[in-house]
Amino acid sequence: MEQIKVDGTDLSISQVVFGTMTFGAQVDEAEAAQMIATCREAGITMFDTSNNYAGGASEEILGRIVKPFRDEVLISTKGGSHVDQTDASLAGLSTKALHRAVDGSLQRLGVDHIDVYYLHRPDWNTPIEETLEALDQIVRSGKVRYVGQSNYAAWQITEMLYLARMNGWPEIRISQPMYNLVGRRVEAEYAACSERMGLTNITYNPLAGGLLTGKHRPDETPEAGTRFSKPMYRERYWNDVQFRAVERLRGIAEDAGLTLIELAFRWIAARPLAHAMLLGASRLSQLESNLKALHGPRPSPDVMTACDEVWDDLRGAAPDYNR
C-alpha cells in the first residue's frame, strides 16, 4: 500500500488508516486482533482511535494489541470529549482538560507517546489560544509528536495556524474532515484552505455511516448497534433527500459495473482532497470486503461527472456568498 508523506513532519502514513471506533462496542478484543492483523497484511500502518470511543475501551484494546509491534505502527487519538461523566471540567479543550485527556489516553493505550493527537471538535467555551498553548506544553513534554484537527471550519483552522506561527506553537499538520459522495461541503472552502496551508487530509465517513452500503431504507427502523441507532447519524444522513441520492448513485454504480460500496471508496480515492481514507468495520468479514472493494481502477470521467450531478442536486440551487 502506498505511503503518504505528511508535510512538515517526519511521518509517512498508509493511504488507508484503520479506525477503531467499534473496538469495545460491536467488536471484542479477539476479533479486533484479527482485524489489526488483516490491516497490517494489507499494508496499513496507522491506527486511529479516540478517548471517548466505547468509553475508553477502544484505546485500551488497541494499545494491548499493538504493544508487541508498537514501533512499527502509528497511533492517533483525539481529545475534546471525556470519559469521566462525573467531572465536567475534564470535557473540552481547556489546559486542565487537555493535560488530563492526554495522560488518560497514554495510560489506556499503554504507550509513552502518541504519534498524532487530534482536537476532536471545537470547544466554544475555551479560547483557542489556551488550547494551542496547552498543546505546545504537551508536545514539548514528548507525550505527543504532532497535532491535528477534526470537524473545524476553514476559518478556525486558518486562525489556529496563524496563532501557532505567531507564537511558535505546534502547527496543525493533519486533518480529518468528513467526506463522501453525499457529504461534500468541505469542497466549498475547506479544500482550498487545506491545500494552501499544506494539510494532509485523512477523510472519514467514506460510506456515510453505512448509508452508502445501500442496505438501509427510510421507512425502516435503524438496526440496533449500527451508527444509525444514534441520533447524531440519523440527523446527519437519515432523510428522504439523502436516500434519493443513494438510489441515483446506485444506478450510476450499476451502469459502471460497480457495487455502490466500490463506487463510494474509489470515488474518494480519485479525489485530490483525500490524501488518505479512514476506514472502519464492525466485523472482520466487513473489513475484508471493504479492503477488496478499495482495489480496482478509478471511476471514469463520465462516472465522476454523474456523481457531481447528484451532489449538485443535494447541495441545492442557493448561490455561494463569495467569489
- The per-residue b/e assignment along 277-301, b for 16 or more CB within 10 angstroms, e otherwise, is bbbbbbebeebeebbebbeeeebee
- Alpha-carbon dihedral angle through residues 244, 250, 252, 253, given to the nearest 10 degrees: 160
Q: Sort strands 3-5 and 276-279 into parallel, antiparallel or unpaired.
A: unpaired
Q: DSSP code of 226?
A: S
CA dist 49 → 55, 110, 192, 306 (Å): 11, 14, 27, 34
- Chain position carrying cell 501557532: 164
Total residue count of the chain as it appears in this document: 323
Instruction: Note if 190 is an active site residue.
Output: no
Which region, left, alpha or beta, applies to residue 137 given φ > 0 means left and ψ of -120 to 50 means alpha?
Answer: alpha
| Start-to-end CA span in the chain (Å) | 39
Query: Which of 53, 117, 152, 233 is flagged as catalytic?
Result: 53
Q: Which residues, in sequence order, are CB contacts of 244 under 8 Å at separation 6+? A: none
Question: What is the secondary structure of 72-133 as a DSSP string?
Answer: GSEEEEEESS-S-TT-GGGSSSSHHHHHHHHHHHHHHHT-S-EEEEEE-S--TTS-HHHHHH
The residues annotated with a catalytic role in the active site are 53
